[in-house]
Chain A
Amino acid sequence: MLELSLNILDVAQNSIKAQSTLIELDVEINSEQDRLVVLINDDGFGMSSEQLEKVTDPFFTTRDTRSVGLGVPFFKDAAESTGGEFKIESAPGKGTSVRAVFGLSHIDRVPLGDMNATVEMLVFFNTGIDFVYRYRVDDEEFALDTREIKELLEGAPIDSPEVKIFISEFLKENTTEINKGRIF
């Protein structure tokens, strides 16, 4: 993948397929520790220990349209090739949690890319699922919680044009403020 935000979009599709009702995405950049940490947590139906063992194997997939499953292996490789680590935990009925740690300044680290586009795609095309997105750079952070948004909207659709524009601006302005001209 050309951007980590695409890996995140891809891995989050697994949470959607697992019928999650809440998906949490955390991106945490720590320049002192020289790390970029991505967390993806869901409350979906989870995986058995047999499935969990095979999930990082590129020749394992639950699909029948093709015989390879590269989403998780790509993400794992992207992390490990930067001196980072990758961990996935899951249990049936308990959801799944993915944690990828990247060496922030490592030459092989793929840029984070357009994380806001990933969040927008997830929120606007899966209106029945709630998302919490947290973005943190050192000691500054912001969060987007669709549960709060839906409460304020009192039944008005989250994917209506006016709300979409608001959410895009919310993500853009807050990200710009935190990034302070830096590109991750």
Chain B
Amino acid sequence: MKSLAELKAIKEKMQGQVGIRNNDQAETRVVVGMATCGIAAGARPVLQTLSTLVQEKNIPGVIVTQTGCIGLCQYEPIVEVYDPEGEKVTYINMDEEKAKEIVDKHLVRGAVVTEYTVGNI
């Protein structure tokens, strides 16, 4: 059985890095719908992919969060990207592959992937 003992060492290592996180940057918020409709349509791996990639690629100023149902259940999984000015892009029928594309194109390079947006239906 793996125990929690290793956590102490991990914590110690982390203490040396405090302060390098740039939290005061303007924030882009990536919001994934995680109500019954979203979860049933496959939102869990989408949220997992987005969150893991944003952390792995260390994309500055991007936070990934979850929300409830926004009333477009038939288009779930839905991912909304709010830029620092509050402008919103809504991506629909997401899956892991599309989520990876959103990270590379939209979150890293700032290019909206128009073919997956709600305006494209």
> Which of A42-50, A64-72, A87-95 lies at the interface?
A64-72
> Can you list 26 A-B pairs, Cβ within 8 angstroms, ordered by A?
A6-B40, A10-B35, A10-B39, A13-B35, A13-B39, A13-B68, A63-B68, A65-B68, A65-B70, A66-B69, A66-B73, A69-B36, A71-B36, A74-B40, A114-B44, A117-B45, A120-B48, A121-B34, A121-B66, A124-B51, A125-B47, A125-B66, A156-B14, A161-B55, A162-B10, A174-B1
- Residues of B near A69 (CB, < 8 A) are 36
A139 contacts the other chain (CB 8 A) = no
B71 contacts the other chain (CB 8 A) = yes
**Contact, CB under 8 Å: A9 / B7:** no
Number of interface residues of B (CB under 8 A): 31
Q: How far is the CA of A156 from the CA of B66 in the complex (A)?
A: 22
Closest Cβ of chain A: how far from B106's Cβ, in Å? 21
Complex partner residue of A118 from B13, B36, B44, CB under 8 angstroms: B44
**Residues 36-65 of chain B: 1 if any A CB is under 8 Å from the residue's CB, otherwise 0?**
110110001101100100011000000001
**Contact, CB under 8 Å: B11 / A170:** no
- Residues of B near A66 (CB, < 8 A) are 37, 69, 71, 73
**Residues 56-68 of chain A: 1 if any B CB is under 8 Å from the residue's CB, otherwise 0?**
0000000101100
- Residues of A near B39 (CB, < 8 A) are 1, 6, 9-10, 13
**Contact, CB under 8 Å: A13 / B34:** yes
**Contact, CB under 8 Å: A166 / B7:** yes
B2 contacts the other chain (CB 8 A) = yes
Q: How far is the CA of A173 from the CA of B73 in the complex (A)?
A: 36
**Residues 1-31 of chain A: 1 if any B CB is under 8 Å from the residue's CB, otherwise 0?**
1000010011001000100000000000000
